Amino acid sequence: MIFRNKGKKILFLTARTEALASSRTRVYQYIPYLEKAGIQCFVIIMMRHPSVDKAKLKLWKFIKLLFTGGIKYLRIVLLCIFCDVVFIQKTLLPIWRQNLIRLLNRNLIFDFDDAIYVSSQIYPSISDAMNRRRLGHILQISRGVILENNYTKEFALQFNKNILMITGPIDCKRYFPKKKEKNKNITIGWIGSPGTTPFLEPLSDVFRKIARHYPNVVIKLIGASPLKRQGRNIQIVEWGLNSEVENLHDFDIGIMPLPDNELAKGKGGYKLLQYMAIGIPCVGSPVGINSVLIKEGVNGYFADSEEQWYDKLQMLINNRALRESMGSKGREIAEQRYSLQVSTPKLVQFIKKLGYDGYESSAPQGE
């Protein structure tokens, strides 16, 4: 562990690696800009991969796991002491560990995106009640809270009034528009994970109807598991960090269906931001953050029934000029309101207001 003599230091305790969208967008993509400003960044991944928890470990592997875990927590203790700020991303540690970190460093920031207080989706081994107690406690002892939307803000305000809302953010340099070829198949796309694939199931009949009337339309699902009723026009591709943008560039229309429940209302809408940044129109359920990111008739449409989903998608399928104009407007909104280039200065200023005044503004500039 090496500390540079100059500059400030910040410890990020992240949920997982860059493969997890929330860790990538809420932590990792900020680091180059913070380091450019002379801020030394340390990252420790707090959560084991689910396969480790489920595996029956042999004795020597169990001993190795205990040893590496001990080293990790020793690093956490030392870094909490020597760093100026501890930034905890979506990780709900036991309350005694939260108190220990708070004892070692009073400048705590807690960041979360989804409505993790609704369901113990992050730590399925603990009860929902314990999940909420851990979240409530870390919110109370933190000096600042960063979250995604007004729905999660309402919950957080019960415990902490010092809140910064950053939706996304989306790196508009990584996600950019690509010129579409004329007379090619039209692709309706979705990006997500196997865990959120059930959100697509209510659209199965819509996809089948599109297949009957539009043989030139492909439904491309990135990161999804197979649907229960999968039509011939559906393509499922594996998600990968290096292939993600290339696959997104195949999309002509992006979709984000959501159920109308508490968990969905807490979603951050990152896939909508991806669609907007690459310059394509969005169609989504009028739930949660979707109702903020989608401007009806400007950068996309709302749909909350099978009939509406088909009608709105049909309008975009039939009108290339409409797709292009809405996509262009979506890109403009993403750049001006939700880009990494806009959000980084907000994060820096928020940290400054906590009394941590060592940051110089070296945030990425808008394109």
Chain CA centroid to CA 153, Å: 16
Asked if 124 and 228 sit in the same domain, the reply is no
Predicted local distance difference test score (pLDDT) of residue 119: 63
C-alpha distances (whole Å) from 220 to each of 100, 204, 291 are: 47, 13, 24
Asked if 158 and 194 sit in the same domain, the reply is no
C-alpha distances (whole Å) from 150 to each of 167, 314, 349 are: 10, 32, 20
Asked if 110 and 239 sit in the same domain, the reply is no
Residues in the chain: 367
Predicted local distance difference test score (pLDDT) of residue 361: 41
Asked if 149 and 192 sit in the same domain, the reply is no
Domain count of the chain? 2
Average pLDDT over residues 184-208: 94
d(CA 3, CA 79): 10
Q: Is 7 in contact with 38 (CB distance < 8 Å)?
A: yes
Position 360 in a domain: no
High-pLDDT (> 90) share of the chain, %? 67
Asked if 343 and 327 sit in the same domain, the reply is no
pLDDT of residue 1 exceeding 80, the answer is no
Q: Retrieve residue 278's tokens.
A: 């690459």
Asked if 82 and 112 sit in the same domain, the reply is yes
Predicted local distance difference test score (pLDDT) of residue 46: 86
pLDDT one-digit tens code per residue, 115-138: 888 865 555 556 778 888 999 999
Position 119 in a domain: yes
Asked if 208 and 280 sit in the same domain, the reply is yes
**Predicted TM-score of the model (pTM):** 0.88
Which domain range does residue 114 map to?
Answer: 9-169+339-353
Predicted local distance difference test score (pLDDT) of residue 52: 40
Q: Which residue has the higher pLDDT, 367 or 231?
A: 231
Predicted local distance difference test score (pLDDT) of residue 23: 92
Q: With CA atoms as reference, report the closest residue to 196 among 266, 125, 117.
A: 266
d(CA 52, CA 17): 15
pLDDT one-digit tens code per residue, 312-321: 999 999 999 9
Q: Retrieve residue 184's tokens.
A: 């090619």
Asked if 237 and 163 sit in the same domain, the reply is no
Position 151 in a domain: yes
Asked if 203 and 308 sit in the same domain, the reply is yes
Q: With CA atoms as reference, report the closest residue to 11 among 45, 36, 62, 38.
A: 45
Q: Retrieve residue 257's tokens.
A: 């269906």
Predicted local distance difference test score (pLDDT) of residue 355: 52
C-alpha distances (whole Å) from 98 to each of 11, 79, 93, 151, 155 are: 14, 15, 6, 24, 19
Average pLDDT over residues 181-209: 92
Asked if 220 and 312 sit in the same domain, the reply is yes
Asked if 29 and 104 sit in the same domain, the reply is yes
Share the mean pLDDT of the chain. Answer: 87
pLDDT one-digit tens code per residue, 29-51: 999 988 887 788 999 998 754 44
Position 179 in a domain: no
Q: Retrieve residue 107's tokens.
A: 């400048």
- DSSP label of 206: H
d(CA 346, CA 278): 23
Q: Which residue has the higher pLDDT, 316 or 53?
A: 316
CATH of residue 298's domain is 3.40.50.2000
Asked if 23 and 145 sit in the same domain, the reply is yes
Q: With CA atoms as reference, report the closest residue to 142 among 193, 105, 185.
A: 105
Q: Retrieve residue 76's tokens.
A: 């956490």
Position 155 in a domain: yes
Provide the pLDDT confidence category of residue 358 given band limits of 50, 70 and 90: very low
Position 319 in a domain: yes
Predicted local distance difference test score (pLDDT) of residue 121: 54
Position 34 in a domain: yes
Position 180 in a domain: no
Amino acid in position 101: I
